[in-house]
Structure 1
Amino acid sequence: MKVCVVGAGPCGLTTIKQLLDEGHEVVCFDKNPSSGGIWLREGDDGSTMKAYDSLMLTISMKLMAYSDFPFQGGRVFYSRREYFEYLQEYATTFGLHDHIRFGHEVTDIVRKPASWTVTVQHDGVETIEDFDAVAVCSGPFKTPHRDIPGLENFTGEIVHSAEYRDNERFRGKKVLVVGMAESGADIVREVGDVADECTLAIRSYTYLLPRIFNGTRTTDNGTVRSHHHEMLDRSSHYPFALDTIWGRSPIAKAVFGVVSVVLGVLTTALGAARVYRDKLIPSMRAPQPELNPMREAVDPPKLDIGTEHNDANFEMIRTWNRRSHPDGSWAQRGIFCKNVSFIPHLVSGRITLNDAGISSSDGNTVTFGDSTSAEFDTIVLCTGFTKEELSIGDLQVKDANVRNLYKHFLHPEHQGTAAFIGFVRPFSGGIPICAEMQARYFARVLSGKLTPPADLDERIGREKEWEEHWTELSPRHTEAIPSQVLYLDALAREIGCLVPMSMMLRNPKLFIQLWFGSFNQACYRIVGPHNRGKAALDDLYSEIVDNRREMAWRMSTLRFLPTDVHPEHMM
């Protein structure tokens, strides 16, 4: 088929690649002069959404890479420029730029009985072209959310985080930062470095998760398939909505459970033997790295950028997270902030916290919900983006809610010829691999090799209810999914690239690695279409299962939580 792809950021690039793998003709339109989306920085781009100068990924490159172009190395966090260079290398390796028309902006998409008509603007000239299918990959970061109640009468400078590049414009000023997500955590820290006064205003507490634990490992090392099943399937009474390794057969699930217990006991015993061996023979211990995953010195141990692993920072994180669930319990019900680099400024007092929300403003004075007030020169809005531009022309998403699409991407009304790829946000995990798997599915639907379920509407409704249950603390974020692992496994099962249960039962090493090991998307290139075979297996086995890993991660994370929280309810 002839397929139109809108946008050449990380999601658009992998969509082009997966469509080409299935033999489709692809034309991608991007209004920028080159690929990369928000990671591309060129010229005077201060008024558009772009990654800021000092940005570091909150997910390690192992999980931010594509499964067909894996990251060759350990779990480290890349900078903005490093990740942009990775995207360029991906595009160059597979010749993706040959299929992109840069400087072209899609302005309208019209549905015809058997095709899609796409209108494009380029250098002031409008052109129209017909396609068999359309994939919108332009991402949700378009229109900054600036309409904040209470700030209507503020006469000082108001800047949205989309425009933030560095902290120089805030030097010596009194700054109010409103809202906080992962980028907000960086921004409030950097503003706090240079401002005369910096106040962080929030209405609720987002659960904090450090990027590093035990000083040397990335926290996403603790993303373990068995753990996600434990949280969202086995330990919950809420009906599980996704198909998984054993499908929906209770017998297969029981068999799988028995084998997992046997192999789990064996793995634990072997791990205990390694611990005993290391105590007896110190020379057998793995050497201590000099740098942590943020590439800062290991000593003193750190939790994040410049955030020492000390009691004061720990207690501040625990206090914050306790407030994120004021009923005293904790469950995975809201988006995480995988960035605690602002915590030292809270501890030292460089940042003042106000959690009462904003009540009103008058001139340069802002009054908070607790009736306190203060004067500010500048307000920085870390308040996210609206969803008003999600649809284009006839390609509409009901209620601007991607949960009304199948698996967040496949439109149920256009016979599999329309997709919104990349409009998904895992609580913990990378968006690019989600986009890649969505694109693989879409490409095979267009090839006629994959037929979406007949009960599409029923499945959309069931999965929407399940996601809303597990994301009820983040109701505005309809793109959020509680588990990247379970979501990707469900997609992989339909694509045909999920390692079958029978293969796992025949190969205990593979079973242990997939079930108890750190999640690695190489698992979706072992079998099925366009697999990498042994190369994918080698990548998977490059991170040897260490049963101490999950326990250390659990115990480390437990210190951030209220003392009455049971470990089985942890992320």
Structure 2
Amino acid sequence: MKVCVVGAGPCGLTTIKQLLDEGHEVVCYEKNDDIGGIWLRHDRDAGQTKAFDNLLLTISMKLMAYSDLPFDGGRVFASRGQYFGYLEEYADRFGLREHIRFGHVVTDVARGRDDWTVSASRNGVDTREVFDAVAICSGPFKTPNTAIAGLEDFTGEIVHSADYRNSDRFRGRRVLIVGLAESGADIVREIGDVAASCTLAIRSYTYLLPRIHGNRTTDQGTVRAHHHEMCRRATDQPFALDSFWGRSGIAKAVFLTAALVYGFAATMIGAIRDRVRPRPAARRQVDPMGQPADPPMLDVDTLDNEANWDLIRTWNRRSHPDGSWAQRGIFCKNVSFVPGIVAGRIILNDKGIQRSDGNRVFFGDSTVAEFDAIVLCTGYTTEKLAIGDLQVKDGNVRTLYKHFLHPEHQGSAAFIGFVRPFSGGIPICAEMQARYFAQLCSGKVQIPDNIDEVIGREKEWEEYWTELSPRHTEAIPSQILYLDALAREIGCLVPMRRLVLDPKLFVQIWFGSFNPSCYRIVGPHSRGRAALDDLYSEPVENRGELAFRTPLRQLLPSSVHPKHAM
């Protein structure tokens, strides 16, 4: 098929690659002069949403890399420039640039009887071309959400985080920061270090997760067994996604019994091995963020000390006022702003903004403060989640199949990359969506006959688990569960029979740190032994809690599941 891809950022690049793997003809339109999307920085990027100067990833490169080009440098947090370099390597390794038309802005996508006509403009010259299918990969970071109630009468400077590059313009000024996302946490820290005064205004608390703990990345604790326990056994909410056992109760019982047996055996073997032949503790000179390993840190310039932990624990209790142990809102995998609050450099106000008058802002707790500038870390709207005849109902990607496939166009239209895991990376989600789409274009997978029913069931499940982040319709509670369901349809999920007959692989996949290479062991365009080697490069630690109690809990009814397990 001849397929149009719109956008050559991380999601567009992998879409091109997966389509080419299936032998399709691909034309990609990219408005910039190079690849990278928000990661591309240039002299003319003022007014565009871009990654800021000192940005560090909030998850390690192991989870931000694609499964067809794994990162072999361990679990480290890359800078903006380093991640852009990885994207360049990916594009060059697979010859993707020759399929991209740079400097082209797509102006319309029109549906024909059996095709799509894509209109684009470059330097005032308009072109039209016909395609069999189209994938929109331009990302959700388009329209900054700047309509914040109560700030209509503020006369100082208002800047959205999309325009933030560094803290220089805020040095010595009185700054109010509204909202807290992952990038917002870094912005709060940077501005708090240089401003005359800095206030952080929030209406609710986002669950905080340090980037580092014990000189290791916290995303090493992203484990299948735990995600299944959290999203299957913490509630009676019907589970919507297929896993290794599909929808067979018998297969599920066999799998979880194997998990209990293998987990217990692995725990005992590990304990005996460690007693007989203790392994010396690894001594690192630097932590995953490139900081000295001593003293231990939780994040950028964030000491692993009791004062910082006290604030994090208090914050997280407030993020889930019902006391539930399973998170039901988007994570903030960045606590670098915490020391600023502890030290009093950053004032926290959680009562909301009532109104403004000139340079004064009135808060819900009756306090008033004067500010020179306001920085909005308030995310983006979905009003531009449409182009021409490609419209997403209510601007809500949950009305699409698996967040990406349009149900009304016979599998010929996709919105790839409009998904945000609570904890995990968008690129691997986009890659798996693109693999499904490429297989669909090849006729190797089929759209479910009951697609509307499936969409409705999964939408209801996601809305339950994202109840505390209702505005973020792109959010998914578990990257692992979502990707496994996609992988099962693609044919790249390791078969249950193979896992049950291979205890080493079972333990690695079920109890080991999540690694996208698990989706390249079998199935289309697999990497076979190379994928296994990458998977085994991070041996499973002796996790007594996860290797025994977790599968046991999953065999019990949710009524006896502990509510406060975390």
Structure 1 residues 280-324: Cα deviation after superposition (integer angstroms, max 9, x where no partner) = x5xx31431111111111100111111000000000111111111
The counterpart of 1:529, out of the listed 524, 530, 555, is 524
Amino acid at match of 2:200: L
Q: In the alignment, what sits opposite 2:122? A: 122
Correspondence 1:487 to 2:489: no
Q: In the alignment, what sits opposite 2:329? A: 334
Distance 1:261 1:569 in 2: 22
Give the conservation status (yes or no) of the 8 Å contact 1:139–1:422. Answer: yes
Please give the residue correspondences for 1:386-397 in structure 2 after superposition, counting only pairs within 5 Å. Answer: 386-397=381-392
Amino acid at match of 1:247: G
Structure 1 residues 11-42: Cα deviation after superposition (integer angstroms, max 9, x where no partner) = 00000000000000000001001000000001
Quote the offset at 1:331 in angstroms.
Answer: 2.5
Flag the 1:39–1:129 CA change in 2: closer, same or farther, 3 A.
Answer: same
Q: In the alignment, what sits opposite 2:433? A: 438
Give the conservation status (yes or no) of the 8 Å contact 1:231–1:570. Answer: no
Amino acid at match of 1:538: D
Give the conservation status (yes or no) of the 8 Å contact 1:116–1:133. Answer: yes
Distance 1:327 1:521 in 2: 33
Flag the 1:409–1:515 CA change in 2: closer, same or farther, 3 A.
Answer: same
Structure 1 residues 415-474: Cα deviation after superposition (integer angstroms, max 9, x where no partner) = 000000000000000000000000000001000111111110000000000000000000
Q: In the alignment, what sits opposite 1:169? A: 169
Quote the offset at 1:345 in angstroms.
Answer: 0.3
Q: In the alignment, what sits opposite 2:230? A: 231
Structure 1 residues 360-413: Cα deviation after superposition (integer angstroms, max 9, x where no partner) = 000000001111111000000000001011100100000000000000000000
Distance 1:114 1:224 in 2: 43
Distance 1:234 1:328 in 2: 16
Give me the identity figure in percent. Answer: 71
Flag the 1:549–1:307 CA change in 2: closer, same or farther, 3 A.
Answer: farther
Distance 2:273 2:190 in 1: 43
Quote the offset at 1:258 in angstroms.
Answer: 1.0
Amino acid at match of 1:240: F
SS at match of 2:405: coil
Quote the offset at 1:330 in angstroms.
Answer: 3.6
SS at match of 1:127: strand
Distance 1:527 1:260 in 2: 21
Please give the residue correspondences for 1:312-391 in structure 2 after superposition, counting only pairs within 5 Å. Answer: 312-391=307-386
Q: In the alignment, what sits opposite 2:261? A: 262
Give the conservation status (yes or no) of the 8 Å contact 1:225–1:514. Answer: yes
Please give the residue correspondences for 1:59-458 in structure 2 after superposition, counting only pairs within 5 Å. Answer: 59-214=59-214, 216-277=215-276, 281=278, 284-458=279-453
Flag the 1:6–1:248 CA change in 2: closer, same or farther, 3 A.
Answer: same
Give the conservation status (yes or no) of the 8 Å contact 2:324–2:563. Answer: no
Cα RMSD of the aligned pairs, angstroms, is 1.5
Quote the offset at 1:237 in angstroms.
Answer: 1.1
* Range 539-548 or range 175-184, more displaced: 539-548
Distance 2:295 2:563 in 1: 30
Flag the 1:48–1:189 CA change in 2: closer, same or farther, 3 A.
Answer: same
Give the conservation status (yes or no) of the 8 Å contact 1:51–1:165. Answer: yes
Flag the 1:332–1:570 CA change in 2: closer, same or farther, 3 A.
Answer: farther
* Range 299-308 or range 233-242, more displaced: 233-242
Structure 2 regions of 5+ residues with no counterpart? 550-560
Q: In the alignment, what sits opposite 2:458? A: 463
SS at match of 1:547: coil
Quote the offset at 1:549 in angstroms.
Answer: 8.7
Quote the offset at 1:551 in angstroms.
Answer: 6.4
Structure 1 residues 36-89: Cα deviation after superposition (integer angstroms, max 9, x where no partner) = 000000113121100000000001000100000000121111000000000000
Distance 2:380 2:564 in 1: 30
Distance 2:96 2:9 in 1: 12
Give the conservation status (yes or no) of the 8 Å contact 2:202–2:349. Answer: yes
Quote the offset at 1:568 in angstroms.
Answer: 7.0
Distance 1:491 1:88 in 2: 27
Distance 1:151 1:185 in 2: 21
Quote the offset at 1:550 in angstroms.
Answer: 6.8
Q: In the alignment, what sits opposite 2:552? A: none
Distance 1:300 1:549 in 2: 28
Distance 1:542 1:357 in 2: 47
> How many residues were matched structurally?
554
Q: In the alignment, what sits opposite 1:559? A: none
Give the conservation status (yes or no) of the 8 Å contact 2:397–2:404. Answer: yes
Distance 1:478 1:449 in 2: 29
Amino acid at match of 1:236: T
Give the conservation status (yes or no) of the 8 Å contact 2:234–2:326. Answer: no
Flag the 1:401–1:439 CA change in 2: closer, same or farther, 3 A.
Answer: same
Query: TM-score, normalising length from structure 1?
Result: 0.95
The counterpart of 1:510, out of the listed 505, 511, 518, is 505
SS at match of 1:44: coil
Quote the offset at 1:326 in angstroms.
Answer: 2.4
Distance 1:339 1:141 in 2: 20
Runs of 4+ in 1 over 3 A off after TM superposition: 327-330, 548-552, 566-571
Structure 1 regions of 5+ residues with no counterpart? 555-565
Distance 1:27 1:570 in 2: 50
